[in-house]
Amino acid sequence: MPDRTQIAEWIALDWGTTRLRAWAMRGHTVIDKRETGDGMATIPRDGFEPALLRLVADWMGPGRTDVIACGMVGARQGWAETPYVAVPAKPPVASPHQAPAQSPHLRVRIIPGMKQENPADVMRGEETQIAGFLALNRGWDGILCLPGTHTKWVHVSAGEIVSFQTFMTGELFALLGRQSVLRHSIGETGWDDTAFSDAVDDTRSRPERLANALFALRAADLLHGQTPEAARSRLSGLLIGAELAASRPYWLGQQVAVIGETAPARPYVRALELQGVPAIFADGARMTLAGLSAARDHLKAAT
């Protein structure tokens, strides 16, 4: 019989493309947490419930346990497709969709993603982080930047997501640094703030030079012995500088918060600072959990 202190009142899940993060909750308090590589992309349609039970069965009591999830688990290839909610709208944490489950001990709900018809754009998971941020910062209006594989810039006003745009910056950084010809010139770690700042400047002012400036990273290694650390920082700066050029109508003259993990968020905060924009930083996992907790509060209030 499991230790009584292990039994969760409910379970929070951040179920993304490559990772599954689970928290055992009592109210808003985390009593345990776990993480696996059972991401949405690795699981067949009928594999979601078994993957979840493998991870959290010993958190479950004899009755029925509520599970609230966000992320790619609600995509077409996920556990159950939850239709996107169109902007402008509040982040839809108050209206999660129930996913089918075999076990009578599970009640699983998935928070829908959001879509924008024109320009076409979608998000899954970030809406929950945004709900969390707004739960912790009531009445906050401004721009949220959520760095990641696909970085989002989101205009929030009066508790609603008004519009947003996505940039493939994180995915480009990974592909270029690890799989393109630049991999020979770019370090896996290390940071050179001057190289980063100069690169942000270059593409912020002349974004069209990006594809040429990328190859110049290789040439500067061959001709001028540029260090792997400088090349890595410069690659990050070139991509973020071009992103700032495109997202300028979002952040110019607005208050900005950056939500994410520290490593991808730090260069965004620095690049915004270089534009004279003092962005605040909010931890991504904490915002996710706050958003899932807000969803739980809505469910409890409704029953």
Residue 121 binding its own copies, by CB under 8 A? yes
Q: Which letter does DSSP use for residue 61 in this model?
A: -
CA-based angle 291:66:8, to the nearest 5?
A: 90
Interface residue with its own copies, options 211, 263, 301, 302 (CB under 8 A): 211
List of E strands, the chain: 10-15, 20-26, 29-36, 65-70, 85-86, 97-99, 106-110, 114-116, 121-123, 142-146, 151-157, 160-167, 256-260, 280-283
Helices then strands, counting H and E runs in the chain, come out as 8, 14
Q: Characterise 139 by phi-psi region: left (phi > 0), alpha (psi -120 to 50), beta (else).
A: left
Residue 167 binding its own copies, by CB under 8 A? yes
Of the ranges 55-63, 128-136, 175-183, 266-274, which one interacts with its own copies (CB under 8 A)? Answer: 175-183
Shortest reach from residue 182's CB to its own copies, in Å: 8
Strand order in the sheet with 160-167: 160-167, 151-157, 142-146, 256-260, 280-283
Shortest reach from residue 275's CB to its own copies, in Å: 14
Residue 117 binding its own copies, by CB under 8 A? yes
Of the ranges 43-51, 131-139, 155-163, 206-214, which one interacts with its own copies (CB under 8 A)? Answer: 206-214
Shortest reach from residue 258's CB to its own copies, in Å: 17
CA-based angle 167:295:85, to the nearest 5?
A: 45
Interface map 55-94 toward its own copies (x if CB under 8 A): ---------------------x-------x----------
Nearer to its own copies, 129 or 166 (CB): 166
Residue 30 binding its own copies, by CB under 8 A? no
Selection from 59, 58, 70 nearest residue 19 by Cα: 70
**Burial category of 79 from C-beta neighbours within 10 Å (exposed 0-12, middle 13-18, buried 19 and up):** buried
Residue 168 binding its own copies, by CB under 8 A? yes
Residue 136 binding its own copies, by CB under 8 A? no
- Please give the residue ranges that form the binding site for its own copies (CB under 8 A): 76, 84, 115-117, 119-122, 149-150, 165-169, 171-172, 175-176, 179-181, 206-212, 214-216, 218-220, 222-224, 239, 242-243, 245-247
